[in-house]
Structure 1
Amino acid sequence: MRSTDHTGRRVRREDLPVSELLYVLWGRRGLVTCAVGLLVLAVLFFSLVRGPDYAAEAVVGITPQQPSVESAEQEVFAEEVFGAVASRGLLEEAARRAGWGSRTEEFRERLDPEPSVAQDGRAVLRVTFRGDDPRQAAAGANAYARLFVERVNRLGQERLAGGSLAAGAELVGAASPREAYLSYHPLLYLLLAVALGVVLGGAAALLLDSRGHRWRDARDAEMTLRAPVLGVIPEYSALEREE
Structure 2
Amino acid sequence: MTSTDRQGWQDGRRDATSLAEVLHVLKGRRLLVVGAVLVLAGIALLLGLFREPAYTAEAVVGFAPREAPDDEGAQQAFAQEVFSAATSPGSFSEGVKEEAAWRGTAGEFSDRLDPGVSVLGSGGMEMRVSFSGREPEEAARVANAYAEMFASEAGRLGDEQLSAGTGVAEAAVMRRAVPSEDSGPPALLYAAVAAGVGLLLGGGAALSLEGRSGGWRDVRDAEVTLRAPVLGAIPDYSPTENEG
TM-score norm. by structure 2 comes to 0.72
Between 1:59-68 and 1:46-55, the stretch displaced more is 46-55
Q: Cα RMSD over matched residues?
A: 3.6
Corresponding residue number in structure 2 for 1:105: 107
Partner of 1:35, secondary structure, is helix
Corresponding residue number in structure 2 for 1:65: 66
Corresponding residue number in structure 1 for 2:51: 50
Partner of 1:209, secondary structure, is helix
Paired residues for 1:167-206 under 5 Å: 167=168, 168-177=170-179, 180-186=180-186, 187-206=188-207
Report if aligned partners of 1:39, 1:197 keep a CA contact under 8 Å in 2: yes
Corresponding residue number in structure 2 for 1:31: 32
TM-score norm. by structure 1 comes to 0.72
Question: 2:108 is aligned with what amino acid?
Answer: E
Report if aligned partners of 2:159, 2:166 keep a CA contact under 8 Å in 1: no
Give the superposition deviation at 1:139: 0.6
Partner of 2:68, secondary structure, is coil
> Any gaps of 5 or more consecutive residues in structure 1?
233-243
Corresponding residue number in structure 1 for 2:6: 2
> After superposition, what is the alpha-carbon deviation per residue over 1:187-238, rounded to whole angstroms, capped at 9, x for unaligned?
3322222222222222332343342799877645654665546789xxxxxx
Distance 1:212 1:113 in 2: 57
Identity within the alignment, %: 44
Between 1:99-108 and 1:82-91, the stretch displaced more is 82-91
CA distance change for structure 1 residues 112 and 219 in 2, over 3 Å: closer, same or farther? same
CA distance change for structure 1 residues 47 and 227 in 2, over 3 Å: closer, same or farther? same
Report if aligned partners of 1:3, 1:12 keep a CA contact under 8 Å in 2: no
Report if aligned partners of 1:63, 1:122 keep a CA contact under 8 Å in 2: yes
Distance 1:88 1:207 in 2: 60
Distance 1:117 1:153 in 2: 17
Report if aligned partners of 2:12, 2:226 keep a CA contact under 8 Å in 1: no
Q: Which residue, out of 127, 145, 148, partners 1:146?
A: 148
Distance 2:213 2:166 in 1: 67
Partner of 1:182, secondary structure, is coil
Between 1:222-231 and 1:54-63, the stretch displaced more is 222-231
How many correspondences in the alignment? 227
CA distance change for structure 1 residues 69 and 16 in 2, over 3 Å: closer, same or farther? farther
Between 1:76-85 and 1:17-26, the stretch displaced more is 76-85
Q: Which residue, out of 88, 91, 94, partners 1:92?
A: 94
Give the superposition deviation at 1:174: 0.7
> After superposition, what is the alpha-carbon deviation per residue over 1:1-53, rounded to whole angstroms, capped at 9, x for unaligned?
33667xxx735675444433333233222222222222232233223322432
Pair member with larger Rg: 2
Give the superposition deviation at 1:164: 5.5
CA distance change for structure 1 residues 15 and 120 in 2, over 3 Å: closer, same or farther? farther
Report if aligned partners of 2:45, 2:190 keep a CA contact under 8 Å in 1: no
CA distance change for structure 1 residues 102 and 17 in 2, over 3 Å: closer, same or farther? same
Give the superposition deviation at 1:58: 0.5
Partner of 2:212, secondary structure, is coil
Give the superposition deviation at 1:77: 4.9
CA distance change for structure 1 residues 207 and 2 in 2, over 3 Å: closer, same or farther? closer
Give the superposition deviation at 1:57: 0.9
Partner of 2:156, secondary structure, is helix
